[in-house]
Chain A
Amino acid sequence: SAVISQKPSRDICQRGTSLTIQCQVDSQVTMMFWYRQQPGQSLTLIATANQGSEATYESGFVIDKFPISRPNLTFSTLTVSNMSPEDSSIYLCSVRQEADTQYFGPGTRLTVL
C-alpha cells in the first residue's frame, strides 16, 4: 500500500491568514484527492488534484479559497486561504493506487482562531 505523509500534522492559525498543506506519497499515483473532515462529521471531497492541469473542484469548493498544486505524480499541496473559524477541520490527502484501493494520509488538524 502507498505510504502517505502530510505536513504539518496540526496547526493553529489566525483568521485571515493562509496555510499550505503538503502531501507526499512514496510511489507514483495517478489519482490524488483532498478531503475535509469537519469536527464530528464524515469526509467531504474538496477536489481531485490533477497532475499538470487545474484541480477539479466539488460543488461548494472554489479554487480561490482552496488552491491546489500537483507538480508531479508523488506530491500535492492544498492551501486554505483567508481562513475563518469555520475552516477548522481535519484536511486529508488521499490516493488511489490500483483500481480498487484508496488510501489516506494521517491528516492535518487545523484550528482557526
Chain B
Amino acid sequence: GEDVEQSLFLSVREGDSSVINCTYTDSSSTYLYWYKQEPGAGLQLLTYIFSNMDMKQDQRLTVLLNKKDKHLSLRIADTQTGDSAIYFCAEINNQAGTALIFGKGTTLSVSS
C-alpha cells in the first residue's frame, strides 16, 4: 500500500534555510503536497507540485521532486520563528480518486 515517510524533527536558527524531506512509495502519485500545522490550529495548504514537475518555487518556499527516487523536499529560505510548526507531506493518486495519504509530520523548531 501507499506510504509516506518524513523525519520527525528539524531544528534551525533564524535566518538559515530549512529543508524538510519526504519519501513516498506510490509511483502513480499525481500530486504531492506540503501542509503546515501551527500549534492548536488546522492544516494550511502551503504548496503542491504535480508529478511531472521537478521544481516549484513560491516566494520563500522551494519544492523539489525527484520522481525516480520518490523523494520530495520543501526548502524554506530565511527561516523565521513564525515558521515553527509541524509540516506534513501528502500524496494522492488523483486518477484513482483516492484521498490524501499523509506522512507523520516534521516538527520544525526555529530558534532566534
Residues of A within 8 A of B45 (CB): 1, 101-104
- What residues of chain B lie closer than 8 Å to A99, measured between beta carbons? 94
Q: In whole angstroms, how far apart are the Cα atoms of A82 and B54 in the complex?
A: 48
Interface residues of A in 63-112 (CB under 8 A from B): 92, 94, 99-107
**Separation in Å of the A1 CB from the closest CB of chain B?**
7
Listed residue (B88, B94, B99, B100) with the most chain A CB atoms within 10 angstroms of its CB = B99
Q: Is B99 in contact with A48, judged by CB distance below 8 angstroms? A: yes
Stretch from B12-20, B65-73, B76-84, B102-110 that touches the partner: B102-110
Q: Looking at chain B's contact residues, is the secondary structure mostly helix, strand, loop, or mixed?
A: strand
A102 partner, pick from B41, B42, B100, B103, beta carbons under 8 A:
B100
B22 to chain A, nearest CB (A): 12
B43: A residues at CB distance < 8 A: 43, 92, 104
For the complex formed, measure the closest distance between the CB of B38 and the CB atoms of chain A, giving whole angstroms. 11
CB distance from B95 to the nearest CB of A (A): 10
With both beta carbons as reference points, the residue of chain A lying nearest to B89 in the complex is identified as: A42
Q: Which residues of A contact B (CB under 8 A)?
A: 1, 33, 41-43, 45, 48, 92, 94, 99-107
Give me 14 other A-B pairs in contact (C-beta within 8 A), A42-B88, A99-B94, A106-B42 excluded: A1-B45, A42-B102, A42-B103, A42-B104, A43-B43, A45-B99, A45-B100, A100-B31, A101-B45, A102-B92, A102-B100, A104-B42, A104-B43, A107-B41
